[in-house]
Chain A
Amino acid sequence: MEHRSRSFYVLGAFFALFVLFLYGPILTIGILSFQGPQGGLTFPMNGVSLHWFRDLFQEQAVGDIWGSFRRSFALGLMVMVTTVVVSVLGGLAFRKRFQGATVLFYLAIASLVIPSILVSLGVGLIFNQLGLPVHWASSGFGSQLTWTLPFGLLIMFAVFNRFDKSFEEAARDQGATAWQTFAYVVLPIIAPSLLGVALFGFTLSYDEFARTLLTSGSYNTLPLEIFGMTTNVTTPVIFALGTLTTIFSFCIIGVFFLAVWLMSRRRDNSSDAGKGMV
């Protein structure tokens, strides 16, 4: 084994502590969600059971959890698809220089730094004054896009900055139309990055709280429902819910990484494109 300096071990220990700091609390509630029926919100464990998970699946026990989960899931998918499509279009637009590009860029950056509660409040006010009902699928959807689109656009910038234009030129030289060039050359090359955009779109929407607070109307999304629970639920059922939704998030993240990995592996194996050039 190669020799490592002392700084490696010191910094490595610091990094390990940081990871523990990141994941320790969530592991704690993961363990505590298996509390026995008489157990409380903190240690010690009062027996081990699935009692609190069972509670979650009983309809009346706690709020409208499954309804809010379905809404959050649907909203996440809507935001995800929209974010991918709009960000790719935006990324393509920024590759050609156009009038107003700077303004749009600064708007997107502003969208990231403006406090979320302002978006929530403003959108709520507009809908009220126009006499439109606020609903998670209309006002909530739009508000969440102001958070996911800038991330999508920035990822597309990073993607197109590294994009080799000679691929497109080659396609064009072969007589491909603009659409064919995009569909058969550009899109397959950027596809793994689009999965990244999709991951941001879905997870940021699924977990968003502030922007949906005043814009989701009478039907709560899951984060809103969970927050409501924190004020009136004092049993480990909230830990069980937290554990489940975190596991769900981990699964979603895992699926995306798996998809990226499969995609890059298939590309390495199936195509000999470019190999003759070496």
Chain B
Amino acid sequence: MKSPLKAVVALAAAGALVLSAGCTARSDTPADDVSTEANTGTETAEFTVAFVPKLQGIPYFEAMNTGGQAAEADIPGLTWLYQGPTEADPAKQADIVRSLIQQKVDVLIVAPNDPDSLAPVLEEAKAAGIKVATADTDAPNSVRDVFVNQATAEGLGTTIAETLATAMGGSGTAAIVSCGETAENLNSWIAVEEATFASQYPDIKLLPTVYAGEDQAKATEMATDLMNANPDLTGLIGQCTTSAPGVAQAVKDAGKIGTVFTTGLGTPQAMLPYLEDGSSSGSVLWDVEGLGYLAAWAGAQLYYGNSFEATQTVGDLQGVTWDAATKTLLLGPPTVFTKDNAAQYDY
């Protein structure tokens, strides 16, 4: 996806798509003219796709940014803007979104900290003529045109539950250390995990979920408290990229490697030492850079007013599916990082 030739081919393919499909469904949108022009090669439209992460500076969103920058290099005319709050605060995030509306970006993609409180702000963006999308976390009750989904709750929740259940030998007591209490994506994965344990691993007892915020130290504390309070606890799930290393560290500090097993959503670089010493049995995630790339690509499609195929290949990403009913673009099945493959990823 980094070669210019591929980009040209991809653009030509996108152009063909516009010419064939664009005239019927979307012929009333002025964007069509722009895209046709761009694809005949006479002129490339310059447009800005802004992505607002939940917070800046954590490895997860930085990896998404890297993917977005790769798309910027591949897609002519695309300017990728990455700007988020320095803490996962809904109000600060809304301020940034408002300032981007003022700057009149063309496409706005947000990973909302609080989907409900952000919905009216997204409405303001749409009223200002900006195409609106969500990525990473959805705001289902908003005006967004597309949700760029990293994985289905079904796929992730089951993979996490299965990874932990296998490590635990199919029985015992487990607990989930989650992060933001209102984070829609985390909560939907937790629901699937609970259902998977209940239906497939009835011998695994799940304790009530605790919430550490996006705070590693707090996740470590809570995991330690859970182990101390429940001597029979043998499984821990770190539900987000800050709590996954947090719970593994707690197991390591307590000297319980091999007795208490952990898994969770962790970035490969952060999880590598824990995968190597056995305090983490496997980290479940998706291709984060690919998600950033897909988000930027989707932004470009929105700008040109293109529609999506049921299944498509985007750059190097194969099997990207589109669900028209929920207006969701899906990256694909999750990846499980182990001590054997984690070192290959540089995020």
To the question of whether A and B form a pair in one complex, the answer is no
Task: Using CB atoms and an 8 Å cutoff, list the residues of chain B in contact with chain A.
Answer: none
Task: Using CB atoms and an 8 Å cutoff, list the residues of chain A in contact with chain B.
Answer: none
